[in-house]
């Protein structure tokens, strides 16, 4: 994976709705920002990988509508129908294999244009679970309850995650300009999937993110002076049928992490990494995913927050950008986490920069209750 570097980053602002922009216009904005950041033109791009989901876009083959703006006309394009971080891993493998010198990766989602929990019902077992109305929200409720019962942590712990990430998002110029969320606000919000409350869920937003990956040789030939190395990557998937899984276990995330850490030479994340950006569609997931990422042992996710370890000034800040709770949409979330990790390593995360970042972890997930996980380690 050391054969792939990231030379360009572009993100739109993440907003509750973008009525003035169609999806291609929104994606073009992120493309132009990434090309400008890399100081190259579209002619330098050899291939494209996109991330989109047909159900979110309300059309078949949702990548077709962005073919022109991502530069995929008469060029190879692959699509990942899931989280954007997996698309970045796919791009990195093609670069590392020597197939292409420079690959553009784009992810988009306009959550404002549909009923996202209803759409997610189609991702579960069609015979037994879809008729019951199971979706990502109700699956999260089941997972949160199981996590609470096994480890004794609950609403008060999760509310502090929302409070932290809402505060972090206030320093991120790309995050929605929402109000501060105190733990008391979270606990006072309506129950939406017992035991989860409305403010435990990431807000629905619109946005796009684009990264440009290249081989070190191509990066040098293009004059890139701030390449960030993709040091390691891993991904793994749980069983599809929700009843076949232990929802409090993080087997897929642990496996993905081990693969990424082995490539990157990370032995102890708390010692070897300076910042983590993880995809927490629900508040409790930041604690559960921290366990799967090896930041602590099972049931110890709340301790990291209580001891201040994951705060912006702590030993290992988690989601200084605000994460998904701060406003990143589904599908885009994992790629946005990678974009934020790259900016941290470069020292360019204005307003949310963590001091002395040499290596950072990005995490992405999709599917009910974290069925699929991707992990990437980047460094200078």
User: pLDDT-derived band of residue 100, with 50, 70 and 90 as boundaries?
Assistant: very high
**pLDDT tens, 165-177?**
999 999 999 999 8
**pLDDT tens, 200-215?**
999 999 999 999 999 9
- Whether the pLDDT of residue 1 is over 70: the answer is no
Say what angle helices 283-292 and 251-264 make with each other, to 10 degrees.
50
Q: Give the start-end residues of each E strand in 123-272.
A: 191-193, 196-197, 206-214, 228-237
Q: Are 51 and 331 in contact (CB under 8 A)?
A: yes
**pLDDT tens, 249-265?**
999 999 999 999 999 99
6-15, 110-119, 253-262, 319-328: segment of lowest average pLDDT: 110-119
């Amino acid at each position: 994976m050391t054969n792939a570097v990231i030379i360009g980053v572009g993100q739109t602002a993440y907003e509750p709705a973008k009525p003035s922009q169609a999806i291609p216009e929104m994606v073009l904005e992120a493309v132009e920002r990434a090309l400008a950041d890399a100081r190259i033109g579209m002619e330098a791009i050899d291939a494209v990988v996109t991330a989109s989901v047909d159900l979110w876009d309300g059309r078949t083959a949702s990548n077709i509508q962005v073919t022109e703006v991502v530069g995929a006309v008469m060029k190879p394009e692959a699509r990942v129908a899931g989280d954007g971080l997996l698309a970045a891993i796919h791009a990195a493998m093609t670069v590392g294999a020597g197939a292409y010198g420079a690959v553009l990766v784009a992810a988009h989602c306009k959550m404002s244009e549909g009923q996202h929990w209803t759409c997610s019902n189609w991702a579960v077992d069609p015979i037994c679970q879809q008729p019951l109305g199971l979706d990502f929200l109700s699956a999260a409720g089941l997972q949160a309850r199981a996590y609470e019962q096994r480890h004794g942590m609950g609403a008060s712990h999760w509310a502090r995650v929302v409070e932290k990430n809402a505060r972090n998002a206030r320093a991120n110029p790309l995050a929605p300009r929402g109000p501060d969320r105190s733990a008391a606000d979270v606990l006072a919000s309506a129950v939406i999937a017992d035991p989860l409350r409305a403010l435990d869920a990431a807000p629905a937003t619109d946005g796009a993110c684009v990264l440009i990956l290249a081989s070190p040789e191509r990066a040098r030939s293009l004059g890139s002076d701030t390449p960030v190395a993709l040091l390691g990557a891993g991904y793994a998937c749980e069983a599809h049928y929700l009843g076949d899984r232990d929802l409090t276990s993080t087997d897929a995330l642990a496996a993905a992490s081990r693969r990424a850490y082995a490539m990157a030479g990370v032995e102890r994340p708390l010692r070897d990494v300076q910042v983590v950006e993880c995809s927490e569609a629900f508040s409790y997931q930041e604690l559960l995913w921290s366990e799967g990422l090896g930041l602590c042992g099972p049931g110890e996710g709340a301790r990291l927050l209580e001891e201040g370890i994951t705060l912006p000034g702590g030993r290992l800040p988690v989601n200084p950008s605000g994460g998904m709770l701060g406003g990143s949409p589904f599908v885009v979330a994992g790629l946005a986490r990678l974009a934020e990790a790259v900016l941290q390593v470069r020292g360019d995360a204005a307003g949310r920069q963590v001091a002395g970042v040499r290596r950072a972890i990005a995490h992405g997930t999709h599917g009910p209750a974290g069925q699929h996980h991707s992990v990437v380690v980047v460094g200078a």
